[in-house]
Structure 1
Amino acid sequence: MASNPPGSCCYQGVKHEGEPVGSLSTLNNFEIYTSYPANKSTEHAVLILTDVIGHRFLNAQLIADQFAANGYFVLMPDLFGGDPVPLNRSGDFDFQAWKGAHGPSTVDPIVEACVSELRNKYNSQTIGAVGYCFGAKYVIRHLHPGQGKVDVGYVAHPSFVEAEELKAIEGPLAISAAEVDQIFPAEKRHESEDILKTLGTPYQINLYSGVEHGFAVRGDPEKRVVQYAKESAFLQAVQWFKEHL
């Protein structure tokens, strides 16, 4: 695999402070969070696929609003049918069983419905997909420009991405990686680099020192090195989309 399966580090972290400005609504049978740019344009969209804590997590909503503030219409779905993992859940949680209930057979149709909604209802001409941890797998699975999927991908501290999934991408992909990450350690990062080199599509991998898995969403803002890495990873995504969307 290009990254390891998720572990308990995938739902541990710090809740941030702020007031979301987007709104919740329903698409088909699942909930979505949407956030508009100042000009209300939906021409260029960002689809955010979250970590296991889900779309109602304040940190995720604040990130969605940041992308909107940078000019993108943002749609962020509930990938888990109302069954996200609470932040810092206790150690008796059976994460393996939870993962078994939330795989491609349930998540792929949600992603496909969101892409269709962006193309057909909102008339989005380009779609960038952002994936944090769990969501990274589905950015990579759907990174096929011109096939009714997403045009450009960005992922941070990805988890359980199969090598064959990464080999199949057909669009530009940027990755933010943590120095300390048992899910996406150095050997998996190097494996991913080796795969990306062979594909002929634009790619970028940034490694952030002094941070751990989850830093781009759940890092402690009281730690300057973490806050710097979080801000830089977000700017990496914005610059990547500006270049390729």
Structure 2
Amino acid sequence: MASHKPGKCCIQGVQHKGEPTGTIQKVGSVECYLSFPPSKSTSTAILFLTDVFGHKFINSQLIADDFAAAGYFVCMPDLFSNDPAPLDAFSGNSDFDIGRWFETHGPETVQPVVKEAKSSLLGELGVKKLGAVGYCFGGKYVVEGLAEGGHIDAGFIAHPSAIERDELRAIKKPLSIAAAESDYVFPDEMRHESEVILKEISVPYQINLYSGTTHGFAVRANLDDESQKYAKEQAFYQAVAWFTQHLNGSKS
């Protein structure tokens, strides 16, 4: 494994406040959260693959809107057929079992959703360049999309989970990773192993490590904590800079 399966740290963090500006719509048969750039163009898009809280989680919707404000059409599909981790999992009193939930939300159910969303984006929605972001759970499917025939032109993942070594070795397109300093799911030894793999396969890559952070910081940081807020914001800027280079200006 290049990263462990999701664990309890994947349902910890803080729910944010704000007013999302996107809309819930069907893309093909898949329900998605869509957010448009000021230009309303769909030519350059980001497929947003979420953590276990899914496409209706306000934290993810606000990040999707930020990508849209940066100039990208954003599509965030419902990966879980309306069965995400419940928001009360944030509570210390929740009896939610993420291990059991994960057993019923594996590649056999998620991959068809991702495939249909990509097909619709590159088809009727007119996308010419497609990037993908994956937070925690979603990181695995970004990596899969960077392989030959995966139709993703550049990817960004933050504190990823459940990625196999062979999946990482198979990528053919640029990958940027935002890693937490303390992360059971993507610990130091797996991050170092990922660095070795990425160097060996000679694709453009970047791995940034954020001090004082834990798994989930790029989505579920405590924004009242200045250091956590800073890390979350910098991870977002990392992704935007990566796409500026590899979607807007790169031949890769």
TM-score bin, normalised by smaller chain = over 0.9
Q: Aligned equivalents of 1:74 and 1:153: distance in 2?
A: 14
Are 2:98 and 1:121 aligned? Answer: no
1:198 is paired with a residue whose SS is: helix
**Which residue identity is paired with 1:116?**
S
Secondary structure at the residue paired with 2:87? Answer: coil
Q: Give the structure 1 partner of residue 145 of structure 2.
A: 142
Counterpart residue identity of residue 53, structure 1: F
SS of residue matched to 1:209: strand
Alignment partner, residue 195 of structure 2: 193
Out of 204, 214, 224, the position equivalent to 1:202 is: 204
Match of 1:11 in 2: 11
Deviations 1:206-229 (A, max 9, x none): 000001100000010000000000
**Distance across 2 between alignment mates of 1:234 and 1:88:** 26
Bigger mean CA offset, 21-30 vs 113-122: 21-30
Q: Is the 8 A contact 2:183 2:214 kept in 1?
A: yes
Give 1:240's aligned residue. Answer: 242
Whole-angstrom CA distance in 1 between matches of 2:150 and 2:165: 23
Counterpart in the other structure of 1:231: 233
Match of 1:164 among 159, 163, 166: 166
Question: What is the TM-score of this pair, normalised by structure 2?
Answer: 0.94
Report the equivalent of 1:58.
58
C-alpha separation between the residues in 2 aligned to 1:88 and 1:23? 24
Unaligned ranges ≥5, structure 2? 248-252
Task: Tell me the equivalent position of 1:83.
Answer: 83
- Cα distance in 2 for residues equivalent to 1:237 and 1:137: 16
Instruction: Describe the SS at the equivalent of 1:128.
Output: strand
CA offsets per residue over residues 104-150 of structure 1, 9 Å max, x none? 111111111111111111111110000000000000011136x2521
Give the Cα separation in 1 of the matches to 2:219 and 2:201: 29
1:36 aligned partner: 36
Cα distance in 2 between the residues matched to 1:10 and 1:178? 12
- Contact between 2:142 and 2:156, CA under 8 Å: does it hold in 1? yes
Q: What is the alpha-carbon distance in structure 2 between the residues aligned to residue 237 and residue 121 of structure 1?
A: 26
Report the identity percentage: 56
Cα distance in structure 1, aligned partners of 2:241 and 2:47: 16
Listed as ranges, the matches of 1:84-123 within 5 Å are: 84-89=84-89, 90-123=93-126
Distance 1:64 1:160 in 2: 23
In structure 1, C-alpha distance between the alignment counterparts of 2:105 and 2:56, rounded to whole Å = 17
In structure 1, the residue matched to 2:156 is 154
Deviation at 1:30, TM superposition (A): 3.0
Stretch deviating more after TM superposition (167-176 or 147-156): 147-156
My pick for the range that moved more, 214-223 or 11-20, is 11-20
> Is the contact made by 1:54 and 1:79 (CA closer than 8 Å) also made in structure 2?
yes
Residue aligned with 1:105, SS: helix
CA distance in 1, matches of 2:103, 2:30: 19
Are the counterparts in 1 of residues 154 and 243 from structure 2 also a CA contact under 8 Å? yes
In the alignment, structure 1 segments of 5+ residues that lack a partner are none
Query: Aligned pairs, how many?
Result: 244
Q: Is 2:75 aligned against 1:72?
A: no
